[in-house]
Chains A and B, each alone.
Chain A
Amino acid sequence: MGDISFGQTIGMLKNAMDGASAAHSAIANNIANVNTPNFRRTDVSFKEALAQSEASMGDPTTFSLETNDPRQFSLDGAHAAQPFSVTSTVDDTEQMRVDGSNVDVDQEMAKLSINSSYAQTMSQLLGNGYTRIRRAIEEQA
């Protein structure tokens, strides 16, 4: 998330989409190399990094808003998301094919489909998030 934060939801969704994008590139690379002998497939895991960045966002250390009435909103947990990094690992598990590659194209296609749905859901939610902000700014019902 950049300098301006409209709450942690948008930062989280941005991280989720970054992760899904990295995972998509890795899956596309695995599929492109489906006929490459001795190829090792790459796995991108971002769910753990996402959970970590979510956990770190609850900690109001970056800045806070002074309140003098319990009915006022504080900015606890509303600051920018922590840096988020995906990790890609080379899968060195058993060879399941005679040519030494460990790519199973069916599994990759399933992962591709799941990841794409996930990314599209996240972008839909992000769009909804911006719509809410715009409504608040424009004082629409």
Chain B
Amino acid sequence: MGMYDSIEVSASGLSAERLAMDTIANNIANANTTRTAEGGPFKRQLVVFAQKQDASSASVAAAGGDPSASQAGVQVVGIVNDNSPDRLVYDPTHPDADANGYVHMPNVDVVKEMVDMMAASRAYEANVTAIEESRNMGNATLGILKA
């Protein structure tokens, strides 16, 4: 691995956490959306994180033949819908109310989204700190030549 390659690992964490934040923000924005292009209320969306492996033979060889050392951070492999049941709200005056007067509201729990957002935000900060440390280490290494 090169001197600054670990910054790319942390940057993949930043991208993934930012996408998670975007998805959470979209969930909160649509917490009361009863109409979507697919019909029915909005469905809560979740990001799926997966480990990113740089499995190219060159990087495994560079790691001394150890495949576990060729890890390249995290990636988002998909955004999936949460298929838990809709929230039912009794409001016969609502234009989207069914025959019994119930409105199918999105399955978004705003409190849960807020907690998820805090988790994503803290993870983002952790990655920022890791980048700062990478930079400090790289600068210290470059400073060898200045002494």
Contacts and interface: CB of A to CB of B under 8 A. Distances in A.
Interface of A: 17, 20-22, 24-29, 31-37, 39, 42, 44, 85-90, 105, 108-109, 112-113, 115-116, 119-120, 123-124, 126-128, 130-131
Contact of A29 (B73, B119, B133, B140): B73
A71 to B, nearest CB: 31
Chain A interface, DSSP helix/strand/loop, else mixed? helix
B10 A119 contact: no
Contacts of B51: 33, 36, 39
Given A24-B6, A127-B143, A127-B146, A32 B16 contact: yes
A132 to B, nearest CB: 10
Interface of B: 1, 3, 5-7, 9-10, 12-13, 16-17, 20, 49-51, 63-64, 66, 68-69, 71-74, 119-120, 122-123, 126-127, 129-130, 133-134, 136-137, 140-141, 143-147
Contact of B130 (A27, A44, A124): A27
A112 B133 contact: yes
B141 A17 contact: yes
A64 B83 CA distance: 74
A109 B133 CA distance: 10
A33 B127 CA distance: 10
24 contacts: A17-B141, A21-B6, A25-B1, A25-B9, A27-B130, A28-B13, A29-B6, A32-B73, A32-B127, A32-B130, A33-B51, A33-B74, A35-B17, A36-B49, A39-B51, A89-B68, A105-B126, A109-B126, A113-B133, A119-B140, A124-B140, A124-B143, A127-B143, A130-B147
A32 B13 contact: yes
Given A28-B9, A35-B123, 5 more contacts: A21-B137, A32-B12, A86-B64, A105-B123, A131-B147
Contacts of A105: 122-123, 126
Contacts of A123: 137, 140-141, 143-144
Contacts of A20: 137
Nearest to A126: B144
Contacts of A42: 68-69, 71
A120 B51 CA distance: 29
A126 B145 CA distance: 10
